[in-house]
Structure 1
Amino acid sequence: MSSGPSSVSSVGFDAWREAISSAFVPLIASPESPVASFRGALDSTTLGDVQLSEVIGDRSRVRRSPAMIRSADPGVVKVGLQLSGHSTVHQDGRCAVLTPGDLAVYDTSVEYDLDLADSFDMLVAVVPRAALRVADRELTDATARTIGTAAGVGSLLRPLMLSLRAGAAGAGSGVAASLVEDAVADLVSALIRSSAPIQALGAGETILLSARTFIEANLDDPGLSPAVVAAHHHVSVRYLQKLFAYDGLSVATFIRQRRLDRCRRDLADPAQRHRSIGAVSASHGLVDASHFSRLFRQTYGLSPRQFREVNGLADV
């Protein structure tokens, strides 16, 4: 078996099974080798709302059952990077065979099986579904597919995950964690979009992707609205709303969420502490300071001023 994280001692199967269910989501685990000889280890860190875990163990099988999903569904997506050994991810009627260097995406809200064929070392990023800018259909089309890391988005995500494993302690809180969280969520979103088969993206999905990109590029425009986005794409507002409904969001809600996300990031950034709260919100298209303050509190449970204080930044 690969040597575990230097700061974590290997444990027996029962302790390992409890550890992975506690760190991730409730899981059914069974060893494929004698229980008495099984050794495993788990090392986890959090970066904002993103969790990064290195999982090591001997031959085993891990399952996420429908009953477990019904009892506990935190709404997170996993991205596994095989470091050593071999494994197979089964989900949505597909299977992804992973060799060292390969990635796979799997959704904890849908049942899956993970067959760990031999002693293994896997790095797993756990990202909130709400942080990913992908439609439900895109996620379903991208799960349980073998994703290489020699080129494309995989070649960007792999070194990021490895560097975070090596130096995560320096990005565990505050603005660093927030920026890292954004970077991981953006790359995982891009990975999901790029992994779906081309034929899976019909005209509607293509417009949806383009509309999201257009919104991201124009969040600073106070006049950005569903009508503006629809006109840019030569479709009706009603049709655009129908496309966004795949994610359970309206166009206006998506715009508002992305603006608030940008404001939250800047308000936690020490480099932005000289800017007033009103200047930060206006730079992302939210020009009414009192309205922004209400939205921010409703979304994050703190006023913008309190959020800055929690992050160790005095209000300007």
Structure 2
Amino acid sequence: MLVTGFSTEDVAAEDRFERWLDFTSQSVKRVARPEDRAEDFRASLRVVDLGDVGVAAVSGSSVRAARTPKNIRQSDPEAYLVELVLSGNGVLSHAGRESVFGAGDVVISDTSRPFHMWRSCSPDTTASVVVQVSHAMMPLPSSTAASLLAVPISTRGGLAALFSRWLTDITKRAGDFTSADAPALSSVVVDLLAAMLSRQTGSVVATTPESRRHVLCFQIREFIQHRLDDPALSPKVVAAAHRISLRHLHKVFEEQGTTVAAWIRRCRLERCRRDLANPLLGSHPVHAIASRWGFADAAHFSRVFRTAYGMSPTEYRHSVLRLPTSPSAPTGDAAGRRL
């Protein structure tokens, strides 16, 4: 995976803006001309190159920018810019609309149309994640996409929330992926984006079976992640919530090389492992942490934890937090039986 980054942190104040423009012009297709910016300009950028799709996490000082007809004639990637706003706010004048947007919104612009934008944000936090998707890759009628230009879309629920979490996860875990993962990742980005936009307009998108499987899989995983604390969570509950058969549900996970039950168990174990390593939860009994994440049977939890991580929950907690072990404290199998 090709990940590049730049920060003005170590650049002299008077050179920051020019260095920023130089880097962005080389690493991403800069489509807007900055008109004004803060005197003490600071910014950083992390670009994840997925081949046909570009994803960039951006932070920076407040700025005004414009894309003019002249800019378009000189260079046009013929793409949609999809900005997930993480902090700050702004105003976008584009496609005959003027909209105000803020944290938790997605706003879309078209590089083939002029726009003016004002962005208020802090260089100390990530302001947004921006995705660039070519017109040709978007599986939506151009009229549908055009109807959503400069229209803020809330990511506080539904497919928009799923799209938001997927984007932020890609930027955080970019170093874990390889170039071989790029085609699949870019495909999922486009599929989730198209599903989100079609839901906004109520339109029907002619997607491929693979695209529909991608979206369904992420919807299911998101559903499970939000219900790990429910001991009653089961494949039957998951299938019913998504109005699919148990056979269909199992097929979705078979294609991922796992089973529904195994994936639920793995997610629950990861939540338990995280809590056991949290010093703020050091006084919480192990069985209480297990119960919190859906393990009703303490002995069962101890067995599956040992199988997954090679030690009992108590041994793991001691090894991570470096807690003193009492001479009388049970260890080994006894520790596993008593957690």
Q: Same fold per TM (> 0.5)?
A: yes
Residue 179 of structure 1, CA deviation = 1.0
Say whether residues 1:188 and 2:193 are aligned partners: yes
Residue 119 of structure 1, CA deviation = 2.6
1:305 paired residue number: none
Going from structure 1 to structure 2, the CA distance change for 1:93 and 1:14 (only over 3 Å counts) comes to same
Distance (Å, rounded) in 1 between the aligned partners of 2:170 and 2:108: 18
Deviations 1:202-255 (A, max 9, x none): xxxx5xx36x25xx3499xxxxxxxxxxxxxxxxxxxxxxxxxxxxxxxxxxxx
Say whether residues 1:30 and 2:35 are aligned partners: yes
CA contact (8 A) 1:31 1:38 kept: no
Residue 7 (structure 2) aligned to one of 6, 9, 12? 9
1:57 partner amino acid: G
1:156 partner amino acid: L
Return the TM-score normalized by structure 1.
0.58
Going from structure 1 to structure 2, the CA distance change for 1:7 and 1:182 (only over 3 Å counts) comes to closer
2:60 partner amino acid: G
Going from structure 1 to structure 2, the CA distance change for 1:109 and 1:6 (only over 3 Å counts) comes to closer
- Paired residue secondary structure (2:193): helix
1:148 partner amino acid: S
Query: Percent sequence identity over matched residues?
Result: 25
2:45 partner amino acid: L
Residue 22 (structure 2) aligned to one of 18, 40, 46? 18
Going from structure 1 to structure 2, the CA distance change for 1:111 and 1:184 (only over 3 Å counts) comes to same
Going from structure 1 to structure 2, the CA distance change for 1:26 and 1:153 (only over 3 Å counts) comes to same
1:45 partner amino acid: V
- Paired residue secondary structure (2:47): strand
Going from structure 1 to structure 2, the CA distance change for 1:9 and 1:184 (only over 3 Å counts) comes to same
Going from structure 1 to structure 2, the CA distance change for 1:126 and 1:15 (only over 3 Å counts) comes to same
1:129 paired residue number: 135
Say whether residues 1:160 and 2:166 are aligned partners: yes
2:69 paired residue number: 66
Going from structure 1 to structure 2, the CA distance change for 1:66 and 1:192 (only over 3 Å counts) comes to farther
Residue 46 (structure 1) aligned to one of 36, 43, 49? 49
CA contact (8 A) 2:154 2:160 kept: yes
2:17 partner amino acid: F
Going from structure 1 to structure 2, the CA distance change for 1:113 and 1:18 (only over 3 Å counts) comes to farther
Equivalenced residue count is: 201
Residue 71 of structure 1, CA deviation = 1.6
Return the TM-score normalized by structure 2.
0.54
Distance (Å, rounded) in 1 between the aligned partners of 2:118 and 2:38: 12
Distance (Å, rounded) in 2 between the aligned partners of 1:150 and 1:218: 26
Distance (Å, rounded) in 1 between the aligned partners of 2:82 and 2:183: 19
The gaps in structure 1 that reach 5 residues or longer are 199-205, 220-270, 272-316
1:93-242 matches, within 5 Å, as: 93-119=96-122, 121-174=127-180, 176-196=181-201, 209=204, 212-213=206-207, 216-217=208-209
Residue 73 of structure 1, CA deviation = 1.3
Pairwise CA RMSD: 2.7
Going from structure 1 to structure 2, the CA distance change for 1:163 and 1:118 (only over 3 Å counts) comes to closer
Distance (Å, rounded) in 1 between the aligned partners of 2:116 and 2:61: 16
2:90 paired residue number: 87
Residue 122 of structure 1, CA deviation = 1.4
Q: Which has the larger radius of gyration?
A: 2
2:96 partner amino acid: G
